[in-house]
Amino acid sequence: MAYDFEFGPKSTLMLSTEMKHPSDNQRQGAIGVEYAYDQRFFLRSGYKMRTDEEGLAFGGGLITGVAEDTKLIIDYSWQDFGRLQSVQRFSIGFTF
């Protein structure tokens, strides 16, 4: 479940939550927040509950145009991942 809050013409805050109850494991949940400015700059944070490894996460992203109908998407995140400690993820993508 997610809900967007608008703060002016260019700022949006999205709050989200997820709960699951698998038949072979305990209940798990996650909460997250994303702040978007001008649908180009993004800051994100989240937390997973009752998992063996995953926990707190932070990240950010950028969407920018590179051609008339092509956009470049860059994302970065850091997450506390238990035994692996700090896990960093970086991705680059295109839409056209």
Contact 57, 78 (CB under 8 A): yes
Number of domains in the chain: 1
pLDDT band at 55 (very low <50, low <70, confident <90, very high): confident
Contact 20, 30 (CB under 8 A): no
Q: What is the mean pLDDT of the chain?
A: 92
Residue range(s) defining the domain that contains residue 88: 2-95
pLDDT at 26: 85
Kindly state the tokens that stand for 64.
């920018």
pLDDT at 23: 85
pLDDT at 83: 80
8-12, 21-25, 38-42: least confident range:
21-25
HEC assignment per residue over 11-53: EEEEEEEEEECCCCCCCEEEEEEEEEECCCEEEEEEEEECCCC
Tell me the pTM: 0.83
